[in-house]
Amino acid sequence: MNFNFIQVLKSLKYEFKFVKDRSDKFSLLLHLELWFKDRILNQTPMKAGFPWINYATIQFMHFLVRKNMRVVEFGAGGSSIFFLRHGVHLESIEHDEIWIKNVRKKVSKKLHNNWTYHLIKPDNEITNIPTAETYLSPLDRLSDSSIDLFLIDGRHRVESIKRAMDKIKPGGYLILDNCDRPEYSKSFELLANWSLNQVSCITNSSEFVTPAAIWKKPSLG
């Protein structure tokens, strides 16, 4: 095992500062157990079939996601496997051709019927990244208020949020990974009227606490 155990302890000390009750302590111990299992078994998020996001957010999504929900993710991977195993109708937006081929191999063939993936190739070979307009083009075909959950963990994240807002159902959710990065600060202004839960926890393949933001769109009325 190749990991910094001292850093893990520091991360846990940080998390315990925010533990308020016994249920929170139980969740924290569960996250630690998952982390050790992933490290001992050398499981990447893809192998584990989990999103590459902190364990607390994975736990939240596990209880939130239901069969036949409509989910859109920016950035395919272990999250694709996770959602499809929950029986959702999933659309994945990915710009890396080699990576999406790898994801396709990992997704069970019986789950492909519920999965639509969009490979968005770069506009030019210099940047190797598509423009925001090109990257977000698959959203044009989605009706407003039609999506239960957006997971934002790919390119052009602030622009992704802008375009996703109208597509989410009232009472639906939007999750942004790595929400502490300065370049994503505009997200909090855009969604100021939505209820917000910021979650920080240890993450697969990392000894550090990483944050995610979970927004819920206001219900009608």
Least confident of 39-48, 125-134, 169-178: 39-48
- Per-residue pLDDT tens over the stretch 27-55: 655 666 666 666 666 777 788 788 999 88
Q: What is the pLDDT of residue 45?
A: 78
Share of the chain above pLDDT 90, in %: 63
Residue 201: predicted pLDDT: 80
Position with higher pLDDT, 207 vs 64: 64
CATH of 5-216, one of 3.65.10.10, 1.10.10.1100, 3.30.1330.60, 3.40.50.150: 3.40.50.150
* Count of CB atoms situated within 10 Å of the CB of 146: 13
**pLDDT value for 19:** 46
Strand order across the 147-152 sheet: 115-119, 89-94, 70-74, 147-152, 168-177, 209-216, 195-202
Determine the average pLDDT of the residues in 193-200: 94
DSSP letter (8 states) at residue 203: B
Sorted by where each begins, the domain ranges of the chain are 5-216
Q: What are phi and psi of 61, to 5 degrees?
A: -65, -35
More reliable by pLDDT, 82 or 124:
82
Tens digit of each residue's pLDDT (9 = 90 or more) over 45-102: 788 788 999 888 998 999 999 999 999 999 999 999 999 999 999 999 999 999 999 9
Crossing angle for the helix pair 5-16 and 22-40, nearest 10 degrees?
A: 160
